[in-house]
């Protein structure tokens, strides 16, 4: 400030006490918030007068007052005075309007304002520098969008369409003007909360699963906003259904749940049939759904045998039609498990003199033994038993073998000795 500010120590009649060497201190008592009184603000009186010859005061304002105080002396308040901005060079940027907390997908309001400032923090109203906003490196992968580069008008750039999609806390913005060579500015911290729920999505997808065994880990489906943030306040009910079902399976377990903190966790969900390329569909009323990634269901451990292709009715002595009699190694749900077990096929119940003619045992291929040469010698009804080491035996359903096509004649009742021109009677043959 020029000329130098001076404060006198006076007696009750207004006379300067020339013998005083008291210290006098100046403070801002009226002015805009954030005012700074610079220079040496405490001086020792010389001949009763304290002289302040290097004071500075920012920012520019028309309503300043300064209070002078000294121990044991009544303080004095200056008249109101004005500090005007000087036409100095632009040095730095400063946020006039800081970013506020906002929901994902919504524009930050009020509009962010960044000023071109001189060394004292005064806005350089002659500047039209191009100013750019960007999220600082603490953004966790988030990015700002909207119009992020604006030319200053009267030294101030106003950003009316800034959005941040990814929810998070403690974001800050950096304002830069590289073309103008100005010192960058960093905003105060602000938070982005999730927006309105718009769709659901799997956050834990199904993997390769085992038939009859609950999916591990538990499937999880989240309620998301348009930007993909989990809407932690959402409690919508989410339902799982089979979408692609190559094994004609059923979906067991808890398949409909209310979300907790925006996420539904499905314990105990399982499929009963093996297959490749299953998918699930998750949906919630009024929200968009999502199809899971494709996954396979493999068999549980082998425990038994099962007829994959049972015997059928043919004529005695005829071969079974392709794909022949087939016996599989299966899990507890009847899914073929694979393996090369040696499987034997024998009769369990037969008609009189009936028998199976078959090569046995047969080594399974991919868990299935095929008995391509099996025949039955006598017509009538049969059941078969399939056996293998360490696996539960399986008994077939009853099936019947028909008589073959007529190929010869056979006496059923043989003729006996009779009187000439008398009736001939017969005796039943006892041979076959």
The architecture that CATH gives domain 197-298 is Sandwich (2.60)
Give the span between the Cα atoms of 118 and 89, in whole angstroms. Answer: 6
Q: Which fold does the domain 5-83 belong to in CATH?
A: Immunoglobulin-like (2.60.40)
Query: Tokens 């569909």 — which residue?
Result: 281
Parallel, antiparallel, or unpaired for β 102-103 and 190-193? Answer: parallel
Q: Domain spans of the chain?
A: 5-83, 92-193, 197-298, 304-401
**CA 171 to chain CA centroid, nearest Å:** 22
- pLDDT of res. 198: 95
Q: Which fold does the domain 92-193 belong to in CATH?
A: Immunoglobulin-like (2.60.40)
- pLDDT of res. 431: 47
- At 139, is the pLDDT very low, low, confident or very high (cuts 50, 70, 90)? low
Average pLDDT over residues 208-220: 96
Structure tokens at 303: 């425990």
Query: Tokens 């999505």 — which residue?
Result: 201
- pLDDT of res. 428: 57
Cis peptide before 250 (omega within 30 of 0): no
pLDDT higher than threshold 80 for residue 100: yes
Give the span between the Cα atoms of 360 and 372, in whole angstroms. Answer: 11
pLDDT higher than threshold 90 for residue 85: no
- pLDDT of res. 161: 96
Q: Where is average pLDDT lowest: 10-24, 27-41, 345-359, 392-406? A: 27-41
Task: Select from 238, 234, 202 the least CA-distant residue to 217.
Answer: 202
| CA angle, 294 then 226 then 295, to 5° | 5
Give the span between the Cα atoms of 96 and 158, in whole angstroms. Answer: 10
- At 42, is the pLDDT very low, low, confident or very high (cuts 50, 70, 90)? very high
Give the span between the Cα atoms of 273 and 284, in whole angstroms. Answer: 26
End-to-end CA, the chain:
139
pLDDT higher than threshold 60 for residue 323: yes
Give the span between the Cα atoms of 297 and 285, in whole angstroms. Answer: 29
CATH for 304-401, options being 2.60.40.3960, 1.10.630.10, 2.40.40.20, 3.30.230.70 = 2.60.40.3960
pLDDT higher than threshold 60 for residue 246: yes
Query: Tokens 């799997």 — which residue?
Result: 202
- At 413, is the pLDDT very low, low, confident or very high (cuts 50, 70, 90)? confident
Q: Do domains 5-83 and 92-193 have the same CATH topology?
A: yes
Structure tokens at 364: 């399974």
pLDDT higher than threshold 90 for residue 298: yes
- pLDDT of res. 398: 96
- pLDDT of res. 432: 45
Q: Where is average pLDDT lowest: 138-142, 292-296, 335-339? A: 138-142
């Amino acid at each position: 400030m020029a000329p130098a500010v001076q404060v006198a120590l006076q007696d009750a009649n207004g006379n300067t006490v020339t013998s005083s060497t008291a210290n006098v201190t100046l403070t801002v008592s009226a002015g805009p918030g954030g005012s700074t009184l610079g220079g040496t603000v405490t001086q020792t009186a010389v001949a009763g007068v304290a002289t302040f010859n290097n004071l500075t005061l920012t920012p520019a304002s028309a309503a300043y007052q300064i209070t002078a105080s000294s121990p044991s002396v009544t303080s004095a308040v200056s008249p109101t005075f004005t500090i005007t901005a000087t036409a100095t060079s632009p040095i730095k940027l400063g946020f006039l309007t800081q970013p506020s907390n906002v929901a994902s997908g919504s524009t930050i309001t009020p509009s962010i304002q960044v000023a071109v400032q001189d060394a004292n923090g005064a806005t350089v109203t002659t500047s039209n520098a191009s100013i750019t906003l960007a999220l600082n490196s603490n953004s966790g992968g988030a990015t700002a969008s909207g119009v992020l580069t604006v030319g200053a008008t009267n030294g101030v750039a106003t950003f009316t369409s800034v959005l941040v999609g990814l929810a998070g806390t403690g974001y800050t913005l950096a304002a830069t003007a590289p073309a103008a060579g100005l010192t960058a500015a960093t905003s105060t911290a602000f938070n982005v909360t999730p927006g309105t729920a718009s769709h659901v999505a799997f956050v834990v997808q199904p993997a390769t699963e085992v038939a009859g065994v609950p999916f591990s880990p538990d499937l999880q489906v989240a309620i998301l906003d348009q930007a993909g943030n989990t809407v932690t306040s959402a409690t919508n009910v989410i339902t799982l259904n089979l979408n692609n079902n190559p094994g004609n399976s059923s979906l067991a377990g808890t398949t409909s749940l209310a979300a907790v903190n925006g996420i539904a966790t499905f314990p105990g969900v399982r499929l009963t049939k093996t297959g490749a390329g299953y998918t699930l569909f998750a949906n919630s009323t009024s929200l968009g759904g999502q199809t899971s990634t494709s996954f396979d269901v493999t068999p549980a451990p082998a425990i038994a045998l099962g007829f994959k292709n049972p015997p059928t009715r043919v004529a005695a002595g005829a071969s079974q039609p392709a794909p022949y009699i087939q016996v599989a190694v299966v899990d507890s749900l009847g899914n073929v498990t694979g393996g090369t077990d040696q499987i034997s096929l024998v009769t369990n119940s037969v008609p009189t003199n009936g028998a199976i003619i078959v090569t046995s045992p047969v080594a399974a291929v991919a868990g299935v033994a095929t008995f391509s040469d099996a025949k039955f010698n006598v017509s009538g009804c049969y059941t078969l038993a399939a056996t293998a080491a360490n696996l539960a035996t399986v008994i077939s359903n009853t099936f019947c073998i028909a008589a073959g096509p007529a190929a010869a004649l056979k006496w059923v009742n043989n003729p006996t000795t009779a009187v000439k021109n008398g009736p001939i009677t017969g005796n039943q043959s006892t041979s076959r």
